[in-house]
Amino acid sequence: MHADYGKLGLLLIALSGLVLSTLAPSLAESALCTNEGPLSCNVVLASRYSRIAGIPLHLVGSLAFALAGLLALPKSSLVREWLALLTLGGAAFGVYLLVLEAGVLRAFCPVCIATWLLWGGLFWLSWSRLGHPAGADLARRLLGWPGVLALLALTGIVWLHLAGPAPEGQESFASCLGESGARLYGAWWCPHCAEQKELFGDAASSLPYIECSEQGNPRAQLGVCRDAGISAYPTWVLPDGSRRTGPLSLPELAAATGCSLPGTS
């Protein structure tokens, strides 16, 4: 009977997590980024950290919760070990994301916190079902994993911040945008701003970029952004005074500023 209650608890928690993860994208559907307070799902779910190799984390979470529910059904001891490992990974990754929210984004998403708590519940139930001898044996086999996980996390962070080399001529094009009077307002955590910068590769450092994030970035020019009335990112203020929100293609920028695209005369 105890095992049946444990299975029921696992299934209910996994179903709750699946629903939460599936509904998460509806909280950040905008094609623009906006500044909100420290309790903001928009900031978190619209950040560049909401994807791994282009795959949305909410999709990964949905699949993981669904898998946890399926693994809760069989009575095999091996499957129970797999479930324990899955829930341990989910709880550990949740801690990693909470650290990102607190230390990098400086914003918390209640949905993300709720899913982490659900992973904690799954972890506790799944390891409780293993029993002391089996759980202790599995824990001993995992002692070598923390270093590997830390290395993978570090690799992921570095990968997220890498920028590719600038295409030939992009440096002069980026500089010309600034000389024309154009300005790009954005936030460092905004994936749409990162998408805009990625068009320039390493030459993004030459863009006429103004940081507007209110999340404690010391390089932010909040006064400039307030005076310009910026409320969404990215926002281009073009030489003629007009504004365009959202990422612009290189031909669009060339047409709006009179700057020549690389490879054209």
For every residue of 85-120, DSSP letters joined together read HHHHHHHHHHHHHHHHIIIII--B-HHHHHHHHHHH
pLDDT band (50, 70, 90) for residue 143: low
Of the candidate ranges 21-30, 34-43, 80-89, 159-168, the one whose mean pLDDT is the lowest: 159-168
Q: Give pLDDT, residue 163.
A: 46
Domain count, the chain: 2
The segment with the largest mean pLDDT, out of 55-64, 122-131, 231-240, is 231-240
Q: Give pLDDT, residue 6.
A: 78
Residues 138, 198: one domain?
no
- Whether residue 149 lies inside any domain: the answer is yes
Residues 219, 92: one domain?
no
Give the domain extent around 98.
2-161
- 31-60: average pLDDT: 71
- Whether residue 263 lies inside any domain: the answer is no
- Whether residue 202 lies inside any domain: the answer is yes
Q: Which of 139, 161, 183 is the last residue of a domain?
A: 161
Predicted TM-score (pTM) above 0.75: no
When comparing pLDDT for 134 and 24, which is higher?
24
The domain spanning residue 72 has which CATH number? 1.20.1440.130
What are the two backbone dihedrals, phi and then psi, of residue 217, each rounded to the nearest 5 degrees? -75, 120
Q: Give pLDDT, residue 222.
A: 85
CA angle 98, 193, 20 (to 5 degrees): 40
